[in-house]
Amino acid sequence: MFKLFSFFFLVVISQAACALQSPVSLYSYSHYPRFNTSNTFIARDMSNQLLKARLLKQYNAWKGTRYHMGGSSHRGVDCSALMQHLFSESMALSLPRTTSEQMHRGKAVTRRELKPGDLVFFQTGRRQRHVGVFIGGDEFIHASTSQGVTISSLNNDYWRSHYQAARRVAV
């Protein structure tokens, strides 16, 4: 809130300085990006990059943690518990405990619409699902039964053939 107030204060001061044709300080309005419809995608991309950075920071804390069905700690974690931790710690967002419950959160998105922070779901058995979080570049973070917490590619033959759905739960 303080940053927003400071920004508007600087804008008002710099506009007043321009109106008086006096020198403008280094913090003039021209140093701030103007928001218009032609560059709104930049703001969206920056928030995607920020979200990706936060997810990768959390990934680094969990990287290599072994997979353990029902686990929810650094001693062993399953895929849905990992999503709970990643979303809680990087976005302050609470997710349900199970993959099935997580699959009903948010709104459905197509694979082409994926953005960092979207949950990706896979059908790995007749009645078994797997979940990860998309981070961009066709990659996702998940708790693998064979590798523990890792990053994999959606283009990998296994994941591509088992891909089921994606949900956007983060705004």
Catalytic one among 68, 79, 104, 162? 79
Catalytic one among 18, 68, 142, 162? 142
Q: For residue 10, what are its two tokens?
A: 């600087």
In angstroms, the Cα distances linking 164 to 51, 64, 141, 155 are 23, 25, 16, 13
Any catalytic annotation for residue 142?
A: yes
Any catalytic annotation for residue 31?
A: no
In angstroms, the Cα distances linking 133 to 22, 32, 78, 101, 111 are 52, 33, 13, 15, 13
Please tell me the number of Cα atoms within 13 Å of 95 on its side-chain side: 33
Catalytic one among 68, 74, 104, 130? 130
Burial class from Cβ neighbours inside 10 Å (0-12, 13-18, 19+) for residue 77 reads: buried
Let me know: does 88 contact 78? Beta carbons within 8 Å: no
Nearest Cα to 165, choosing from 130, 141, 137, 136?
130
Q: How far apart are CA 57 and CA 84, in angstroms?
A: 15
Residues annotated catalytic, as ranges: 79, 130, 142
